[in-house]
Amino acid sequence: MQKESKLGHNNPPKTVDDMVNDQGRINLSNSILKKLERKVDDEGNYVETVFSDTEILGLKAKVNKGGSVTLFYQYYDKTKKRENPRAINKNGKKTREFGGTVKQVIGRFPEWKIEAARSLADKMKQGIKLGIDPRTTAEANKGIPTLADVITLWKKDVLEVSNAFRESTKEDFEARFRLWIYLKPQQLKLQNYVLSHRSALNIKAKQVHLITHDDMVKYHKIITNNKAPYQANRIIADLKLIIKWAMKKKKWKITENFAALSYKTELNPEASRIDLHSPYTASEFKMIRKEILKQAIFRVIKKGKQRKAYARNFPALMGILAAGFCGRRYRDEVLSRPWSKIDTNKIILEKSKNSRVPTSYKKTRYLSWVFKQLKEFGRMKFKETGLVRYHPIKGYAFPSMRNSKHPFVYDIKKTWIDVLKKAGLGHKLLPVYMLRHSWATTGMRVTNNNTKAIKDAGGWKTYRMVEKYAKQSDLLSSETSEKIANSMATGK
């Protein structure tokens, strides 16, 4: 009789094919489960084939008659009644005894991945210790989606329909998901890295309520070790946003936001834009303001009657001034304002990055001057073209000068670069967004580091970012003090 070969700890397989040709205890993986095939004897009869997992004791994979693979958890139940064929009572009947092996089906592969099966089997095991029937545990876990399913639902219900996300932001989300969630990198070097750390990176297959904070810490560390500390922080921030949304689904049983890693101890310290680039100073913004007024100056043209002529990019020029004067997010909170949301004293913001309720921003005399010029511009253009977007009441404060999907000025990058070069700041070509940083650092200086006032006026959600402006303000103050002391000492 041929001795049956069993695989286990003492005789591990060298290849996947070795594992397929035998049965025993092995470290199951999704790639192995794909290759499992039904066995038959010499007469062609089906032979039951069961493989036991080395990671979770009791988790098994069975190859069915039709070739499908079923994952189940096998455990010993002390309360199970069974007949003992060897024991017969006085009446000649078989006696019943307690205790026996019970199988709890988890599901079929590939609907159930091995990671999710291990998580559920481990939960059943822990439940048995607490006196909970594994069938109850399995039933309670039915219908709870995996992380991949949750992300798909979030994209459908939030990302694809919300106006809070720009197209470029959506593309960034998809790129990060493709790389670090779906594990489909395009570069060969990165593919090898993902494969070598797949067990820790492949969190998408786990049911969302089974993922822990420790899983996220390990996941974040592996991405960081690939020389991608910024991407590691970004994907965790994405997951934190998604899980916050998912926690509202009570039936998914998510007890904590496992992606809420600590800024101080668990996330990577990031170099923000203010760390990489020094914001424009008040004197530099004065140079920018002068150049804008020079380009947008009203010229008198004699054609029968005198009238004012405006620069072709006049709304963009005024948009730069408005962004510098109010310190808000220039594209979503300033340039998109219709006249219906602007009155004599304030500007109404329907929503901002950190708030979904309408807020108001008090106009300064400088902002009032900007909107006064824009209203005159709108009246003139409305007479010329009749388009509503130029209307001083029904239109937009910063109307688009060409036909586009946005009725307001959306991209002012070209105008901004031209202004910087002509103002003598071509050596310091920073994004338009840096005007917000400049406003904040100047504000910290003139308010003696009043972080609450700057946070509220600038629309920041927390003090964490504002504190960076305080440090920058201190640096500027020390530089100014040095210049003053040097001038007093040298007389220059």
What's the pLDDT tens digit per position in 198-230? 888 989 888 888 788 999 999 999 999 998 888
| Average pLDDT score over residue span 155-176 | 88
Q: In 10 A of CB 178, how many CB atoms?
A: 13
Give the range among 121-130, 261-270, 298-307, 468-477 with minimum mean pLDDT. 298-307
Going by C-alpha positions, the residue among 200, 203, 205 that lies closest to residue 146 is: 205
Q: What is the mean pLDDT of residues 368-385?
A: 90
Picking from 280, 241, 307, the residue whose alpha carbon sits closest to that of residue 472 is: 280
Which range scores top for mean pLDDT: 18-27, 57-66, 449-458? 57-66
CA within 13 Å, CB half, 254: 25
In the chain, what percentage of residues exceed pLDDT 70? Answer: 82
Q: What is the mean pLDDT of the chain?
A: 82
pTM comes to 0.52
pLDDT of residue 303: 53
pLDDT (mean) for 319-346: 89
Q: Where is average pLDDT lowest: 53-62, 243-252, 424-433, 455-464? A: 455-464
- Which strand (E) or helix (H) includes residue 201? helix 198-201
* Alpha-carbon gap, residue 138 to 255, rounded angstroms: 18
Which of these ranges, 276-280, 312-316, 360-364, 417-421, has the smallest mean pLDDT? 276-280
Q: Above 80 in pLDDT, residue 142?
A: no
pLDDT at residue 18 in the model: 58
Half-sphere exposure of 275 (CA within 13 A, CB side): 7
Q: What is the mean pLDDT of residues 13-23?
A: 54
Residues 69-92: tens digit of each pLDDT? 999 999 988 777 665 555 555 566
Average pLDDT rounded to a whole number, residues 327-338: 87
